[in-house]
């Protein structure tokens, strides 16, 4: 948790909108990026991100400091929102819309400067099953720890490692085919 974040969360739990605004400013880009990579449409991602923060604001009093970052809880809300979206909408992702997304994670963006490589990876990610997509996005794009991803997906760290291994193996197959 960032310095002072616990105090900010406690103020937000007490109903201080300005404190929640600080949390929104910090986490909105990450949550938007996560959702955008899952749905592939800018407008839908914006709407879903907005819904995530509305739900979070409405239920922040139920947030429990369990040793995991606040972002893990937000990702869980976002993940559930995406699941609900697909359950109710039954939409197809237009992969060409994903080009608009500017990936800003320095841990891999410098390695993947070539747009065609980025495009191949994005298309390959969309061919993975939803759990493998979540693991790849959360581990390598959002840079969460194994422990955070395991908590978020309600799985053991060993299960997440196995999912990650299978997802990477499948990505290699898809990209090389």
Quick one: 24 and 108 in the same domain?
Answer: no
**DSSP notation for 72-131:** HHHHHHHHHHHHHHHHHH-PPP-GGGGGG-----HHHHTTT--HHHHHHHHHHHHHS-HH
- CA separation, residue 32 to residues 26, 142, 162 (Å): 11, 11, 27
Tens-place pLDDT, residues 145-171 = 888 888 888 899 999 999 999 999 998
> Residue 126's pLDDT is what?
85
State the total domains in the chain. Answer: 2
Q: Is 126 found in the same domain as 150?
A: yes
- For residues 154 and 81, membership in a common domain is answered with no
Shared domain check, 86 and 1: yes
Q: Would the pLDDT of 88 be above 80? A: no
Q: Are residues 89 and 108 in the same domain?
A: no
pLDDT given at position 107:
44
- Its domain, for residue 22, covers 1-97
CA dist 98 to 36, 39, 95, 102, 142, Å? 8, 9, 5, 9, 17
* Shared-domain flag, residues 2 and 89: yes
User: Same domain for 127 and 86?
Assistant: no
Residues 59, 136 within the same domain: no
On whether the CB atoms of residues 142 and 33 are closer than 8 A, the answer is yes
The verdict on 4 and 53 lying in the same domain is yes
Q: Per-residue pLDDT tens for 6-35? A: 889 889 989 899 999 999 999 999 999 999
Same domain, 174 and 106: yes
Q: Are residues 160 and 132 in the same domain?
A: yes
Q: Residue 44 has what pLDDT? A: 92
Please report, for the domain that includes residue 123, its CATH number. Answer: 1.10.10.10
This prediction's pTM: 0.65
Q: Of 30, 17, 10, nearest to 57 (Cα)?
A: 17
| 28 vs 12: CA distance, rounded Å | 16
Residues 112 and 170 in one domain: yes
Q: Which of 42, 71, 97 is the last residue of a domain?
A: 97
The predicted model gives 63-91 an average pLDDT of 81
Question: Length of the chain in residues, anyone?
Answer: 177
């Amino acid at each position: 948790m960032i310095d002072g974040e616990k105090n900010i969360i406690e103020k937000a739990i007490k109903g201080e909108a300005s404190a929640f605004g600080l949390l929104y400013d910090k986490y909105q880009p990450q949550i938007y990026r996560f959702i955008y990579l899952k749905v592939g449409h800018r407008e839908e991602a914006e709407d879903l991100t907005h819904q995530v923060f509305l739900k979070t604001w409405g239920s922040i009093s139920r947030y429990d400091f369990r040793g995991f970052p606040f972002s893990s809880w937000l990702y869980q809300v976002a993940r559930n929102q995406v699941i609900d979206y697909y359950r109710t909408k039954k939409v197809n992702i237009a992969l060409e819309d994903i080009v608009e997304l500017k990936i800003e994670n320095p841990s891999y963006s410098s390695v993947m400067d070539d747009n065609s490589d980025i495009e191949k990876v994005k298309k390959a990610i969309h061919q993975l099953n939803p759990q493998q997509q979540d693991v790849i996005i959360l581990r390598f794009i959002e840079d969460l720890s194994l422990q955070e991803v395991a908590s978020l997906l309600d799985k053991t760290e060993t299960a997440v490692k196995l999912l990650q291994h299978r997802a990477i193996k499948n990505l290699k197959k898809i990209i090389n085919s």
